[in-house]
Amino acid sequence: MAKQLGGRFGISECFSDLEKMLQAIGPDVVHITTPPQSHFSIANQCLESGSHVYLEKPFTVTAAEAETLIQLTLSLDLKITAGNNYQFTLEMLEMRRLVEQGFLGGKPIHLESYWSYDLGDLKYASAFLGTRTHWVRQLPGQLFHNIISHGIAKLAEFLDDELTNIFVTAHQSQQLERLGAPEVLDELRVMIRDKVGTTAFFCFSTGIKGLNQLRIYGLDGSLMADIITGSLIRNVNRSYKSYLTYFVPPLQAAREHLRNARLNVVDCFRGRLYQDFGMKELIERFYNCVRTGGPPPIPYREIILTARIMDEIFAQIYPSRGQKTDGGGQRASAVHLSPITNHFSLSQSE
């Protein structure tokens, strides 16, 4: 496959051995897109050879591995990033700009992240449900582990390092129940609260179709970024007298949708509206930080916090592999997480 790709793009050197590639080429940047279980060892080897690393999601299997890689990256004066490309779509870039400019009227009060995943005709699901040795089944979080970092990372960007509570509940959809793999869960709900009082909700579902959103609520307004439609809906908190409450807000909402439609048409003609825009933007920003020595596109704090939240989610819903579930397949618990700064120090620029 590497040779076929090399032939298409005029790449003369193709390898099936990592060490040989690092010794022969000494690449400036290595993109690691292997199954998550190999992320830590491959990234460690690439960093020690002097290469910057673009590491696909999930960044590592555990938060401890993530911290170790980032510490190594800092000690070697290299750069590393996570492949959370959906943080760099057009609507997410605009949302981030508005938050920084104070649209919310201060820090977010509440966050909501929704991530749906369509199993389609179950051909994908049957591949990992059919054998316990499939690499997805070997992950601590199984199906969740390979997908939810996209949605969790969106929350981590706006949460404090210290989380006071995480409450998790998970169950299996009727769709998967019929396939006879009771230990594999595909419906997840998570409630989070941080030290400063910001609350967050995360929903992952294979039953809900076409719902990939981030919603941020503040004192003066709220923002909703829709990844599916490439839209950003702005809402200013204000009250209206009498019957105007029934007319003005719907008209304002309609205006927002029309504005997004117009922007999408313009971006389409400009060649900026396409499925992989977020990935292109993330990679360009990462390469620029490598060239200039500037901060990485995703702060290391957020990468670690995302990994820690995922660790806790999987610890609660899969406390021991093969354990029977209670209450119709549901598992739930709550936890207090100490601040990242207690055991991990980063420079302010990171």
> SS3 of 220, please?
coil
Statement: residue 344 has pLDDT above 50 = no
Statement: residue 221 has pLDDT above 80 = yes
Statement: residue 324 has pLDDT above 70 = no
72 vs 336: which has the higher pLDDT: 72
Distance CA 116, CA 213 (A): 9
Q: Amino acid identity of 350? A: E
Which of the four pLDDT bands, split at 50, 70 and 90, describes residue 122? low
Q: Average per-residue pLDDT in the chain?
A: 89
Cβ(191)–Cβ(333) below 8 Å: no
Residues 287-299 have pLDDT tens digits of 999 999 999 999 9
Residue percentage of the chain with pLDDT more than 70: 90
Question: Listing from the earlier edge strand, what are the strands of the sheet with 221-226?
Answer: 231-236, 221-226, 212-217, 110-116, 199-205, 187-194, 163-171, 331-335
Statement: residue 42 has pLDDT above 70 = yes
Residues 300-312 have pLDDT tens digits of 999 999 999 999 9
Residues with Cβ within 8 Å of residue 292, at least 6 apart in sequence: none
Q: Which pLDDT belongs to residue 321?
A: 53
Distance CA 287, CA 296 (A): 9
Statement: residue 212 has pLDDT above 50 = yes
Q: Which pLDDT belongs to residue 121?
A: 63
Residues 245-275 have pLDDT tens digits of 999 999 999 999 999 999 999 999 999 988 8
Cβ(120)–Cβ(210) below 8 Å: no
Helix-helix angle 277-292:90-100, to 10 degrees: 60
